[in-house]
């Protein structure tokens, strides 16, 4: 995808959640502890682009999505939407600026829908809240949205519990589309669905992007789905992005060992092709007690002494791929300046 002005730009975003204090903390003998859910994330999404966000459960993917749409306020950092800093002014200002142009599709379509409202009322609610059009125009808009997501009109008066999981997710997508957003955060939108239904929802999201030009931040742990739908891929580990780049390049030539480990776990459809699995040892460190240096080094088979002491920057391996790995960077002749600017000493 050609370089264009960013629709969304996240700069050094941080979200820490306080942990309940012990008696030592209340007496001032122990520093207040926090969960470092998001700790210095920078990311861009261009108009009409899909950026896939992958990583293990608990790495911060969902928290990042909620920060971007204004459901959670950041501890620090900046969110710029369409050239405007939406983190200034607090929660009310973020809601005013983001609610019409940035929406979210949640992981569980059953718990995210009001069980007492009909499908028609659920989809119409954003239009009612923002006072868009007359009552008849809103009803017409609901019919158009249901048609867009291939949701038969006979379900208009149905309640969520009367629908299958796939149909409920279509209701959630239609609701997200109601205000004509420019960005949708899709938070694991297919994880609760059967495989055949997953394919239908992914094809639907792809078709909607082509017809409306909406951009997606597609959050998932399913690497195959991410590869199919995404233009670029960002890999998260313990609150940080450790690799980001054009999808095909990241999948074919991963630079971070964590990315390699994730890709090695993807099932291989060819039974004659030998498996080259990377077996990680140990557990993911606690986000309360993050390791010094590279956060991945306690589980990394490539770790060297520098990895245990120096936090790696996102080295630029090419114009379309960056990864936070000292070892791979050294192997390919990359360095970082004192100012933190990444410089390539080889063509990459």
Instruction: Name residue, tokens 């629908």.
Output: 163
Q: How many CB atoms lie within 10 A of CB 27?
A: 9
Can you give the pLDDT at residue 342? 40
Do the beta carbons of residue 72 and residue 15 sit within 8 Å?
yes
Q: Tokens 């060297």 — which residue?
A: 304
The reply to whether the predicted model has a pTM over 0.75 is: yes
As beta bridge partners, residue 11 has: 78
pLDDT for 84 equals: 87
The predicted structure's pLDDT at residue 344: 39
Give the pLDDT of residue 333. Answer: 87
Two structure tokens written together for 321: 């791929």
Query: Exposed (0-12), middle (13-18) or buried (19+): which is 114, by Cβ within 10 Å?
Result: exposed
SS (H, E, C) the chain: CCCCCCCEEEEEEEEEEECCCCHHHHCCCCCCCEEEEEEEEEEEECCCCEEEEECCCCCCHHHHHHHHCCCCCCCEEEEEECCEECCCCHHHHHHHHHCCCEEEECCCCCCCCCCCCCHHHHHHHHHHHCCCCCHHHHHHHHHHHHHHCCCCHHHCCCCHHHCCHHHHHHHHHHHHHCCCCCEEEEECCCCCCCHHHHHHHHHHHHHHHHHHCCEEEEECCCHHHHHHHCCEEEEEECCEEEEEEEHHHHHHCCCCHHHHHHHHCCCCCCCCCCCCCCCCCCCCCCCCCCCCCCCCHHHCCCCCHHHHHCCCCCEEEECCEEECCHHHHHHCCEEECCCCCEEECCCC
Give the CA angle between residues 119, 123, 125 to the nearest 5°: 115
Beta bridge partners of 232: 51, 246
pLDDT for 182: 95
Question: CA 17, CA 37: separation in Å to the nearest integer?
Answer: 7
Burial 172-197 (b: 16+ CB within 10 A, else e): bbbbbbbbebbbbbbbbbbebbeeeb
As given in the structure block, the two tokens for residue 237 are 């580990």
Give residue 21's pLDDT. 63
- Residue 318, judged by CB atoms within 10 A of its CB (0-12, 13-18, 19+), counts as middle
Q: Do 201 and 164 touch, CB atoms closer than 8 A?
A: no
Please report, in tens digits, the pLDDT of each residue of the chain (348 residues total): 444 589 999 999 999 998 876 555 556 666 778 999 999 999 999 999 999 999 988 899 999 999 999 888 999 999 999 988 888 766 666 667 687 899 999 988 788 899 999 999 999 999 998 889 899 999 999 999 999 999 999 999 999 999 998 999 999 999 999 999 999 999 999 887 888 888 889 999 999 999 999 999 999 988 888 998 999 999 999 999 999 999 999 999 999 999 999 998 877 666 666 667 777 888 889 999 999 999 999 999 999 999 999 999 999 999 999 999 999 999 998 865 433 334 433 333
Beta carbons of 41 and 16 less than 8 angstroms apart: no
Residue 63 pLDDT: 95
Query: Dihedral of the CA atoms 18, 295, 246, 251 (nearest 10)?
Result: -120
Domain ranges of the chain: 254-267+289-348
pLDDT at residue 197, rounded to an integer: 86
Please tell me the distance from the alpha carbon of residue 166 to that of residue 151, in angstroms, as a whole number. 10
């Amino acid at each position: 995808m050609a370089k264009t002005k960013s629709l969304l730009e996240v700069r050094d975003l941080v979200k820490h959640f306080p942990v309940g204090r012990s008696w030592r903390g209340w007496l001032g003998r122990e520093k207040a502890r926090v969960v470092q859910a998001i700790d210095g994330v920078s990311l861009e999404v261009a108009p009409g682009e899909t950026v896939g966000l992958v990583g293990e459960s608990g790495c911060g993917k969902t928290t990042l999505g909620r920060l971007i749409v204004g459901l959670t306020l950041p501890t620090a950092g900046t969110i710029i939407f369409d050239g405007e800093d939406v983190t200034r002014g607090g929660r009310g200002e973020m809601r005013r600026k983001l609610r019409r142009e940035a929406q979210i599709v949640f992981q569980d379509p059953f718990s995210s829908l009001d069980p007492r409202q009909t499908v028609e009322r659920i989809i119409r609610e954003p239009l009612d809240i923002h006072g868009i059009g007359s009552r008849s125009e809103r009803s017409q808009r609901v019919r158009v949205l249901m048609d867009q997501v291939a949701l038969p009109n006979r379900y208009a008066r149905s309640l969520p519990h009367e629908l299958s999981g796939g149909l409920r997710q279509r209701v959630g997508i239609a609701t997200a589309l109601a205000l004509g957003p420019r960005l949708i955060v899709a938070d694991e939108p297919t994880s609760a669905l059967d495989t055949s239904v997953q394919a239908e929802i992914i094809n639907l999201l792809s078709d909607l992007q082509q017809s409306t030009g909406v951009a997606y931040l597609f959050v998932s742990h399913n690497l195959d789905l991410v590869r199919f739908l995404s233009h670029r891929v960002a890999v998260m580990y313990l609150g940080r992005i450790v690799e980001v780049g054009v999808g095909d390049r990241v999948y074919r030539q991963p630079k971070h060992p964590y990315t390699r480990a994730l890709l090695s776990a993807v099932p291989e459809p060819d039974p004659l092709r030998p498996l080259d699995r990377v077996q990680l040892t140990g557990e993911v460190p606690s986000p309360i007690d993050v390791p010094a240096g590279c956060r991945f080094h306690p589980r990394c088979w490539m770790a060297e002494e520098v990895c245990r002491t120096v936090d790696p920057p996102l080295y630029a391996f090419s114009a379309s791929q960056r990864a936070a790995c000292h070892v791979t960077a050294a192997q390919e002749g990359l360095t970082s300046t004192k100012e933190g600017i990444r410089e390539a000493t080889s063509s990459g």
